[in-house]
Structure 1
């Protein structure tokens, strides 16, 4: 992982230093600079930050519950992917196993986005890593308890928004043994003979709306990944699920 010098903004920081810090916060949390029309929503907290009324942590707390952030990382995304992105942006690391995933998924679904972010920003981990005035960043390997977790985080940190879709977390692409050398995780096409139904049998099939069927299959796939070992899930998938998994990576 690339070395990075943490940026800390204190009460005595100049406006120029705060401007540079604002640019870096957006790069870390939003993964881009806000568009012109988005600046209107953010103008109040930007002004307070530049005047020193808001610290880094407080500013990030306001940013992540804004429609600017939520439209990019929450809307049209699975809850699992949203949780993974949030950890990347705020804690500078990947999720660490089933227990942590279950904890934050439950918090998000039971108490909502605001409580979810309050838990992260108010955590002992965040306080020790960044405090109130240091901008979050991708932390180095010394933080991780295993080489696997480092590799997962390294893969996530170099993922561009939407590069591997908005449904399956990057942690699962890696665990599923996908080929990620090109920057986009790919599952090889299986060499199996496919069954093609006869015209008569096709007529007897009652088709549900495509969106309904797809959403149900995606939800089933996410539940399988969340509750079981990823490699076992891959082995148990039927061809329809494998095809869905390939499509979600695009």
Structure 2
């Protein structure tokens, strides 16, 4: 988890300091800087922030409900994964437990995404952690309710957007023993069964078919294929390649 110095603005902040805070907001909440077309959509909101008409929390309420944010994170995600993402962006941590997941899932399902964003940003925890003028950042709490809560927050805050898919939140894929690192959540036993099936299929291929398969594979994939072959098949391939 990154150890960041909190960025806070106030009435005495210079234009450069507020511009830096804006950059940090996008880094935390959008996980990148906006494209030029998105900048145009956000022009008035950015202007109000830079001129000290609104603070960080008010900016986040508007931005979290914008098409830019929703297109990037809400529409590609399941509801529970979107909650995961929102907690990362606005609270700097993962969802702690099933009770918290259920509470915010009900807000999202019954009142909609705008109410969800508002509920998070109006929460007592958010006000104590960030107030109205501090940019949210990945947090390390002094005390976690469980080792899992600690690990989940670390994993989530270090995760690049979409890295572990758009369906299963961190809490669930860890509890279910899934491997989501490739963007799609799978159980290790399924992967092992597929590898075994693939190995059996390779054993039944002719030397000519194996050669054709290797020609169309990347060097890494080719090494994996060769490693799965029987000694007899390897000897036949060496003979065919001479």
- The aligned runs of 1:51-66 (5 Å cut-off) are 51-66=51-66
Question: Secondary structure at 1:144's aligned position in 2?
Answer: coil
Runs of 4 or more consecutive aligned structure 1 residues displaced over 3 Å after TM superposition:
178-187, 190-194
Change beyond 3 A, Cα 1:143–1:49: farther
Conservation of the 8 A alpha-carbon contact between 1:93 and 1:139: yes
- The aligned runs of 1:73-152 (5 Å cut-off) are 73-152=73-152
> Taking structure 2 as the reference length, what is the TM-score of the superposition?
0.75
Conservation of the 8 A alpha-carbon contact between 1:74 and 1:82: yes
- Alpha-carbon distance, 1:177 to partner: 2.4
Q: Distance in 1 between matches of 2:79 and 2:150?
A: 23
Question: Secondary structure at 1:126's aligned position in 2?
Answer: helix
> Taking structure 1 as the reference length, what is the TM-score of the superposition?
0.72
Q: Distance in 2 between matches of 1:78 and 1:183?
A: 14
Conservation of the 8 A alpha-carbon contact between 2:164 and 2:182: no
Conservation of the 8 A alpha-carbon contact between 1:156 and 1:171: no
Change beyond 3 A, Cα 1:190–1:106: same
User: Which stretches in structure 1 are left out of the alignment for 5+ residues?
Assistant: 195-250
- The aligned runs of 1:93-242 (5 Å cut-off) are 93-178=93-178, 187-188=187-188, 189-191=191-193
Q: Which residue of 1 aligns with 2:19?
A: 19
Larger radius of gyration: 2
Conservation of the 8 A alpha-carbon contact between 2:165 and 2:183: no
Give the aligned length: 194
User: Which stretches in structure 2 are left out of the alignment for 5+ residues?
Assistant: 198-242
